[in-house]
Protein backbone atom coordinates (compact mmCIF):
# COMPACT_ATOMS: atom_id res chain seq x y z
CA UNK A 1 0.00 0.00 0.00
CA UNK A 2 1.16 3.54 -0.76
CA UNK A 3 2.31 5.81 2.01
CA UNK A 4 -0.75 7.89 1.14
CA UNK A 5 -4.19 6.31 1.27
CA UNK A 6 -6.67 6.71 -1.58
CA UNK A 7 -10.40 6.19 -1.78
CA UNK A 8 -9.71 3.65 -4.54
CA UNK A 9 -7.82 1.51 -1.99
CA UNK A 10 -10.86 1.00 0.25
CA UNK A 11 -11.64 -2.67 0.85
CA UNK A 12 -14.95 -3.46 2.62
CA UNK A 13 -14.01 -7.13 2.96
CA UNK A 14 -10.80 -6.27 4.79
CA UNK A 15 -12.79 -3.89 6.98
CA UNK A 16 -15.25 -6.66 7.84
CA UNK A 17 -12.43 -9.03 8.72
CA UNK A 18 -10.98 -6.47 11.12
CA UNK A 19 -14.33 -5.69 12.73
CA UNK A 20 -15.49 -9.27 13.28
CA UNK A 21 -12.86 -10.21 15.84
CA UNK A 22 -14.00 -11.60 19.16
CA UNK A 23 -13.11 -10.37 22.65
CA UNK A 24 -11.71 -12.70 25.31
CA UNK A 25 -12.47 -11.53 28.85
CA UNK A 26 -9.28 -13.24 30.01
CA UNK A 27 -7.30 -10.55 28.17
CA UNK A 28 -8.78 -7.93 30.52
CA UNK A 29 -8.29 -9.19 34.10
CA UNK A 30 -9.63 -6.02 35.72
CA UNK A 31 -12.87 -6.15 33.73
CA UNK A 32 -16.20 -7.46 34.95
CA UNK A 33 -17.64 -8.82 31.70
CA UNK A 34 -17.81 -8.48 27.93
CA UNK A 35 -21.15 -7.45 26.41
CA UNK A 36 -21.57 -7.20 22.64
CA UNK A 37 -17.75 -7.17 22.40
CA UNK A 38 -17.54 -4.10 24.64
CA UNK A 39 -15.41 -4.51 27.77
CA UNK A 40 -17.35 -3.61 30.92
CA UNK A 41 -15.66 -2.47 34.12
CA UNK A 42 -17.10 -2.03 37.61
CA UNK A 43 -16.15 1.37 39.01
CA UNK A 44 -15.31 -0.05 42.44
CA UNK A 45 -12.85 -2.53 40.91
CA UNK A 46 -11.13 0.27 39.02
CA UNK A 47 -10.91 2.45 42.12
CA UNK A 48 -9.35 -0.37 44.10
CA UNK A 49 -6.84 -1.09 41.32
CA UNK A 50 -5.85 2.58 41.22
CA UNK A 51 -4.40 2.13 44.71
CA UNK A 52 -3.01 -1.39 44.39
CA UNK A 53 -2.03 -1.97 40.76
CA UNK A 54 -2.28 1.30 38.87
CA UNK A 55 0.31 0.67 36.17
CA UNK A 56 -1.16 -2.70 35.21
CA UNK A 57 -4.65 -1.22 35.01
CA UNK A 58 -3.52 1.66 32.83
CA UNK A 59 -1.64 -0.72 30.55
CA UNK A 60 -4.75 -2.85 30.17
CA UNK A 61 -6.88 0.17 29.29
CA UNK A 62 -4.38 1.40 26.73
CA UNK A 63 -4.16 -1.98 25.00
CA UNK A 64 -7.95 -2.22 24.94
CA UNK A 65 -8.32 1.18 23.26
CA UNK A 66 -5.43 0.59 20.86
CA UNK A 67 -5.38 -3.03 19.73
CA UNK A 68 -8.53 -4.38 21.37
CA UNK A 69 -12.17 -3.56 20.69
CA UNK A 70 -11.46 0.15 21.19
CA UNK A 71 -14.41 0.82 23.51
CA UNK A 72 -15.15 0.35 27.21
CA UNK A 73 -17.90 1.11 29.69
CA UNK A 74 -17.50 1.83 33.42
CA UNK A 75 -20.63 0.96 35.39
CA UNK A 76 -21.48 3.07 38.43
CA UNK A 77 -18.74 5.65 38.00
CA UNK A 78 -20.94 8.16 39.84
CA UNK A 79 -22.55 6.42 42.79
CA UNK A 80 -24.11 9.66 44.04
CA UNK A 81 -26.67 10.51 41.38
CA UNK A 82 -27.20 13.84 43.11
CA UNK A 83 -23.87 14.96 41.63
CA UNK A 84 -25.11 14.08 38.15
CA UNK A 85 -28.54 15.65 38.72
CA UNK A 86 -27.08 18.92 39.96
CA UNK A 87 -24.78 19.17 36.96
CA UNK A 88 -27.64 18.24 34.64
CA UNK A 89 -29.56 21.19 36.06
CA UNK A 90 -26.58 23.42 35.30
CA UNK A 91 -26.70 22.20 31.71
CA UNK A 92 -30.43 22.78 31.46
CA UNK A 93 -30.04 26.33 32.71
CA UNK A 94 -27.31 27.01 30.15
CA UNK A 95 -29.45 25.53 27.38
CA UNK A 96 -32.34 27.77 28.42
CA UNK A 97 -30.09 30.85 28.48
CA UNK A 98 -28.83 30.10 24.97
CA UNK A 99 -32.21 29.16 23.50
CA UNK A 100 -32.84 32.68 22.20
CA UNK A 101 -29.59 32.67 20.23
CA UNK A 102 -28.99 31.28 16.77
CA UNK A 103 -29.59 27.61 15.99
CA UNK A 104 -26.55 25.59 16.97
CA UNK A 105 -24.57 23.93 14.19
CA UNK A 106 -23.76 20.28 14.78
CA UNK A 107 -21.31 17.64 13.64
CA UNK A 108 -22.64 14.58 11.81
CA UNK A 109 -26.27 15.56 12.47
CA UNK A 110 -28.80 18.15 11.28
CA UNK A 111 -28.26 21.54 12.92
CA UNK A 112 -30.83 22.31 15.59
CA UNK A 113 -32.29 18.80 15.72
CA UNK A 114 -31.04 18.25 19.27
CA UNK A 115 -29.96 20.44 22.19
CA UNK A 116 -26.24 21.16 22.20
CA UNK A 117 -23.87 23.10 24.45
CA UNK A 118 -20.51 23.93 22.92
CA UNK A 119 -17.66 24.53 25.39
CA UNK A 120 -19.74 23.11 28.21
CA UNK A 121 -16.59 22.81 30.33
CA UNK A 122 -15.94 26.56 30.61
CA UNK A 123 -19.61 27.50 30.71
CA UNK A 124 -20.34 25.08 33.56
CA UNK A 125 -17.30 26.23 35.54
CA UNK A 126 -18.41 29.86 35.28
CA UNK A 127 -22.10 29.09 35.88
CA UNK A 128 -21.67 26.87 38.93
CA UNK A 129 -18.13 26.36 40.28
CA UNK A 130 -19.46 24.23 43.15
CA UNK A 131 -21.19 21.77 40.84
CA UNK A 132 -18.19 21.71 38.50
CA UNK A 133 -15.83 20.82 41.34
CA UNK A 134 -17.88 17.95 42.76
CA UNK A 135 -18.55 16.59 39.26
CA UNK A 136 -15.00 16.63 37.90
CA UNK A 137 -13.46 15.44 41.17
CA UNK A 138 -14.17 11.89 39.94
CA UNK A 139 -10.67 10.36 39.51
CA UNK A 140 -11.83 7.74 37.00
CA UNK A 141 -12.06 10.39 34.28
CA UNK A 142 -8.40 11.30 34.63
CA UNK A 143 -7.33 7.68 35.04
CA UNK A 144 -8.74 6.62 31.67
CA UNK A 145 -7.52 9.78 29.96
CA UNK A 146 -3.97 9.32 31.22
CA UNK A 147 -3.98 5.62 30.29
CA UNK A 148 -4.51 6.63 26.66
CA UNK A 149 -2.85 10.05 26.41
CA UNK A 150 -0.32 10.23 29.21
CA UNK A 151 -0.21 13.12 31.70
CA UNK A 152 -0.87 16.82 31.10
CA UNK A 153 -3.89 16.14 28.88
CA UNK A 154 -6.43 18.88 28.13
CA UNK A 155 -10.18 18.41 28.38
CA UNK A 156 -13.07 19.96 26.48
CA UNK A 157 -16.74 19.01 26.81
CA UNK A 158 -19.86 19.34 24.69
CA UNK A 159 -23.30 18.46 26.02
CA UNK A 160 -25.69 16.68 23.68
CA UNK A 161 -29.37 16.18 24.49
CA UNK A 162 -31.10 13.93 21.96
CA UNK A 163 -34.74 14.94 22.03
CA UNK A 164 -37.68 12.55 21.54
CA UNK A 165 -37.69 11.56 17.89
CA UNK A 166 -34.12 12.80 17.39
CA UNK A 167 -32.55 10.94 14.49
CA UNK A 168 -29.31 8.99 14.47
CA UNK A 169 -26.07 10.56 13.34
CA UNK A 170 -24.26 9.23 10.32
CA UNK A 171 -21.49 6.80 11.31
CA UNK A 172 -18.15 8.54 11.52
CA UNK A 173 -14.73 8.85 13.07
CA UNK A 174 -13.90 11.85 15.23
CA UNK A 175 -11.43 14.67 15.66
CA UNK A 176 -8.80 15.28 14.27
CA UNK A 177 -8.92 13.72 10.81
CA UNK A 178 -12.55 12.72 11.21
CA UNK A 179 -13.46 16.41 10.82
CA UNK A 180 -11.70 16.77 7.47
CA UNK A 181 -12.86 16.08 3.92
CA UNK A 182 -11.61 13.06 1.99
CA UNK A 183 -9.45 15.38 -0.12
CA UNK A 184 -7.71 16.76 2.95
CA UNK A 185 -7.37 13.36 4.62
CA UNK A 186 -5.70 11.91 1.51
CA UNK A 187 -2.94 14.52 1.77
CA UNK A 188 -1.80 13.14 5.13
CA UNK A 189 0.52 10.10 5.04
CA UNK A 190 -0.88 7.03 6.75
CA UNK A 191 1.40 7.29 9.81
CA UNK A 192 -0.38 10.59 10.54
CA UNK A 193 -3.73 8.76 10.29
CA UNK A 194 -2.51 6.50 13.07
CA UNK A 195 -1.16 9.46 15.01
CA UNK A 196 -4.51 11.26 14.85
CA UNK A 197 -6.28 8.63 16.91
CA UNK A 198 -3.52 8.68 19.52
CA UNK A 199 -3.94 12.40 20.13
CA UNK A 200 -7.54 12.35 21.37
CA UNK A 201 -9.84 10.29 23.59
CA UNK A 202 -13.62 10.38 23.27
CA UNK A 203 -15.71 9.91 26.39
CA UNK A 204 -19.23 10.40 27.66
CA UNK A 205 -20.90 10.63 31.04
CA UNK A 206 -24.49 9.35 30.99
CA UNK A 207 -26.69 12.00 32.63
CA UNK A 208 -29.86 9.98 32.17
CA UNK A 209 -30.68 6.31 31.99
CA UNK A 210 -30.26 5.27 28.36
CA UNK A 211 -32.32 2.21 27.46
CA UNK A 212 -31.99 1.09 23.86
CA UNK A 213 -35.14 2.88 22.76
CA UNK A 214 -33.53 6.24 23.65
CA UNK A 215 -30.76 5.61 21.12
CA UNK A 216 -27.46 5.20 23.00
CA UNK A 217 -24.35 5.44 20.85
CA UNK A 218 -23.99 2.92 18.05
CA UNK A 219 -20.51 1.39 18.15
CA UNK A 220 -18.48 -0.85 15.85
CA UNK A 221 -15.81 -2.62 17.94
CA UNK A 222 -12.34 -2.99 16.39
CA UNK A 223 -13.14 -0.57 13.55
CA UNK A 224 -10.37 1.76 14.76
CA UNK A 225 -7.89 -0.81 13.43
CA UNK A 226 -8.81 -0.31 9.77
CA UNK A 227 -5.99 1.84 8.43
CA UNK A 228 -8.02 3.67 5.79
CA UNK A 229 -10.95 4.35 8.08
CA UNK A 230 -10.67 8.14 7.86
CA UNK A 231 -11.32 7.79 4.12
CA UNK A 232 -13.93 5.06 4.50
CA UNK A 233 -16.64 6.39 6.77
CA UNK A 234 -18.43 8.38 4.06
CA UNK A 235 -18.37 5.42 1.63
CA UNK A 236 -21.82 3.86 1.25
CA UNK A 237 -20.44 0.31 1.46
CA UNK A 238 -18.99 1.04 4.90
CA UNK A 239 -22.13 2.88 5.99
CA UNK A 240 -24.16 -0.19 5.05
CA UNK A 241 -21.80 -2.50 6.94
CA UNK A 242 -22.06 -0.27 10.00
CA UNK A 243 -25.86 -0.34 9.81
CA UNK A 244 -25.83 -4.15 9.83
CA UNK A 245 -23.14 -4.76 12.45
CA UNK A 246 -22.99 -1.84 14.90
CA UNK A 247 -23.99 -2.58 18.48
CA UNK A 248 -25.70 -0.57 21.20
CA UNK A 249 -25.43 -0.96 24.94
CA UNK A 250 -27.95 0.49 27.39
CA UNK A 251 -26.31 2.83 29.88
CA UNK A 252 -27.38 3.89 33.34
CA UNK A 253 -27.16 7.36 34.81
CA UNK A 254 -23.62 7.76 36.12
CA UNK A 255 -21.98 5.28 33.73
CA UNK A 256 -18.96 6.21 31.62
CA UNK A 257 -18.35 5.34 27.98
CA UNK A 258 -14.87 5.81 26.49
CA UNK A 259 -13.63 4.92 23.02
CA UNK A 260 -10.83 5.44 20.55
CA UNK A 261 -11.78 8.43 18.31
CA UNK A 262 -11.09 6.30 15.22
CA UNK A 263 -13.83 3.84 16.22
CA UNK A 264 -16.80 4.04 13.85
CA UNK A 265 -19.72 5.30 15.92
CA UNK A 266 -22.91 7.37 15.78
CA UNK A 267 -25.51 8.65 18.20
CA UNK A 268 -28.66 6.53 17.86
CA UNK A 269 -32.25 7.48 17.15
CA UNK A 270 -34.36 8.40 20.17
CA UNK A 271 -37.56 6.45 19.53
CA UNK A 272 -39.30 7.49 22.73
CA UNK A 273 -42.09 10.09 22.88
CA UNK A 274 -40.93 11.77 26.07
CA UNK A 275 -37.37 10.86 27.15
CA UNK A 276 -34.55 13.37 26.70
CA UNK A 277 -31.24 11.51 26.46
CA UNK A 278 -28.49 13.68 27.94
CA UNK A 279 -24.76 12.97 27.77
CA UNK A 280 -21.76 15.10 28.61
CA UNK A 281 -19.34 14.37 25.76
CA UNK A 282 -15.69 14.62 26.74
CA UNK A 283 -13.04 15.22 24.12
CA UNK A 284 -9.65 14.92 25.78
CA UNK A 285 -6.46 15.89 23.96
CA UNK A 286 -2.85 14.90 24.44
CA UNK A 287 -0.44 17.56 25.65
CA UNK A 288 1.68 17.36 22.51
CA UNK A 289 -0.78 19.06 20.16
CA UNK A 290 0.89 22.45 20.69
CA UNK A 291 3.78 24.28 19.03
CA UNK A 292 6.89 25.27 20.99
CA UNK A 293 6.48 29.03 20.56
CA UNK A 294 3.57 31.43 20.77
CA UNK A 295 3.16 33.09 17.37
CA UNK A 296 0.75 35.92 16.56
CA UNK A 297 -0.49 34.67 13.20
CA UNK A 298 -2.91 37.56 12.73
CA UNK A 299 -0.12 40.14 12.95
CA UNK A 300 1.93 38.15 10.47
CA UNK A 301 -0.99 38.00 8.04
CA UNK A 302 -1.54 41.75 8.27
CA UNK A 303 2.15 42.49 7.76
CA UNK A 304 2.52 40.23 4.74
CA UNK A 305 -0.77 40.78 2.93
CA UNK A 306 -0.03 44.17 1.26
CA UNK A 307 3.26 42.91 -0.11
CA UNK A 308 1.80 39.64 -1.36
CA UNK A 309 -1.06 41.51 -3.01
CA UNK A 310 1.34 43.93 -4.70
CA UNK A 311 3.61 41.14 -5.99
CA UNK A 312 0.62 39.20 -7.35
CA UNK A 313 -0.77 42.28 -9.09
CA UNK A 314 2.61 42.90 -10.68
CA UNK A 315 2.97 39.27 -11.76
CA UNK A 316 6.07 38.70 -9.64
CA UNK A 317 4.77 35.56 -7.87
CA UNK A 318 2.86 32.55 -9.13
CA UNK A 319 0.16 30.66 -7.23
CA UNK A 320 2.58 28.01 -5.96
CA UNK A 321 4.88 30.62 -4.42
CA UNK A 322 1.98 32.49 -2.85
CA UNK A 323 0.62 29.26 -1.34
CA UNK A 324 4.06 28.51 0.12
CA UNK A 325 4.16 31.86 1.90
CA UNK A 326 0.62 31.49 3.21
CA UNK A 327 1.42 28.01 4.56
CA UNK A 328 4.40 29.39 6.51
CA UNK A 329 2.56 32.32 8.02
CA UNK A 330 -1.20 31.88 8.51
CA UNK A 331 -2.96 29.30 10.69
CA UNK A 332 -4.00 26.33 8.57
CA UNK A 333 -6.17 24.61 11.15
CA UNK A 334 -9.73 25.43 12.16
CA UNK A 335 -9.32 24.46 15.80
CA UNK A 336 -9.44 25.29 18.63
CA UNK A 337 -12.26 27.75 18.12
CA UNK A 338 -15.50 28.93 19.70
CA UNK A 339 -18.17 26.83 18.01
CA UNK A 340 -20.91 29.13 19.28
CA UNK A 341 -19.60 32.10 17.30
CA UNK A 342 -17.51 30.26 14.68
CA UNK A 343 -19.79 27.34 13.77
CA UNK A 344 -19.15 24.72 11.07
CA UNK A 345 -22.25 25.77 9.13
CA UNK A 346 -20.90 24.77 5.72
CA UNK A 347 -19.03 21.64 6.74
CA UNK A 348 -17.40 20.30 9.88
CA UNK A 349 -14.54 22.79 10.12
CA UNK A 350 -14.76 26.61 10.14
CA UNK A 351 -12.66 28.70 7.76
CA UNK A 352 -8.95 28.84 8.55
CA UNK A 353 -6.60 31.79 8.40
CA UNK A 354 -4.89 30.25 5.38
CA UNK A 355 -8.19 29.91 3.57
CA UNK A 356 -9.16 33.49 4.40
CA UNK A 357 -5.83 34.85 3.17
CA UNK A 358 -5.99 32.83 -0.04
CA UNK A 359 -9.54 34.00 -0.70
CA UNK A 360 -8.63 37.65 -0.11
CA UNK A 361 -5.63 37.49 -2.43
CA UNK A 362 -7.55 35.60 -5.09
CA UNK A 363 -10.35 38.19 -5.02
CA UNK A 364 -8.00 41.17 -4.65
CA UNK A 365 -9.44 42.53 -1.42
CA UNK A 366 -8.22 45.98 -0.32
CA UNK A 367 -5.96 45.95 2.73
CA UNK A 368 -8.61 47.52 4.97
CA UNK A 369 -11.18 44.87 4.07
CA UNK A 370 -8.69 42.10 4.76
CA UNK A 371 -7.74 43.64 8.11
CA UNK A 372 -11.41 43.76 9.13
CA UNK A 373 -11.87 40.11 8.16
CA UNK A 374 -8.80 39.04 10.13
CA UNK A 375 -10.04 40.86 13.22
CA UNK A 376 -13.52 39.37 12.84
CA UNK A 377 -12.00 35.88 12.62
CA UNK A 378 -9.86 36.51 15.70
CA UNK A 379 -12.80 37.73 17.78
CA UNK A 380 -15.23 34.98 16.86
CA UNK A 381 -12.71 32.31 17.88
CA UNK A 382 -12.46 33.66 21.44
CA UNK A 383 -14.34 31.93 24.25
CA distance 376 to 380: 6
| One pLDDT digit (tens) per residue for the chain, 383 residues | 689 999 999 999 999 999 999 999 999 999 999 999 999 999 999 999 999 999 999 999 999 999 999 999 999 999 999 999 999 999 999 999 998 775 555 555 555 567 999 999 999 999 999 999 999 999 999 999 999 999 999 899 999 999 999 988 899 999 899 999 999 999 999 999 999 999 999 999 999 999 999 999 999 999 999 999 999 999 999 999 999 999 999 999 999 999 999 999 999 999 999 999 999 999 999 988 877 888 899 999 999 999 999 999 999 989 989 999 999 899 988 899 999 999 876 677 899 999 999 999 999 999 999 999 999 999 999 98
Q: Identify the CATH class of 7-22+79-137+146-248+257-285.
A: mainly beta
Q: Provide the CA 208 distance to its chain's centre, in angstroms.
A: 21
- Please name every residue paired with 218 in a beta bridge, in sequence order, or none if there are none: 266
Q: For residue 135, give the nearest of 258, 254, 277 by alpha carbon.
A: 254
Sequential DSSP letters for 56-89: HHHHHHHHHHHTS-SEEEEETS-S-HHHHHHHHH
pTM: 0.88
Q: For residue 229, give the nearest of 203, 197, 252 by alpha carbon.
A: 197
- Residue ranges, comma separated, of all CATH 2.60.120.620 domains in the chain are 7-22+79-137+146-248+257-285
Amino acid sequence: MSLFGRVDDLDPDAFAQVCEQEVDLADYPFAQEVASRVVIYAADTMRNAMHSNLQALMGELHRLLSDGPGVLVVRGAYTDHGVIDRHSEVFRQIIAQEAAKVVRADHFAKAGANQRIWNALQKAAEHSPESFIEYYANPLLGLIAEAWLGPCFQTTAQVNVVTPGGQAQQPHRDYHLGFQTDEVVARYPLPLHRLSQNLTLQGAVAHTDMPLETGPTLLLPFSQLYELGYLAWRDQRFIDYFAGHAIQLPLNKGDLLFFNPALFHAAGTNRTPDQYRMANLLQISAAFGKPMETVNRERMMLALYPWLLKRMEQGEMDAVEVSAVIAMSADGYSFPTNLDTDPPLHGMAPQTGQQLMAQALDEGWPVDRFAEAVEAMRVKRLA
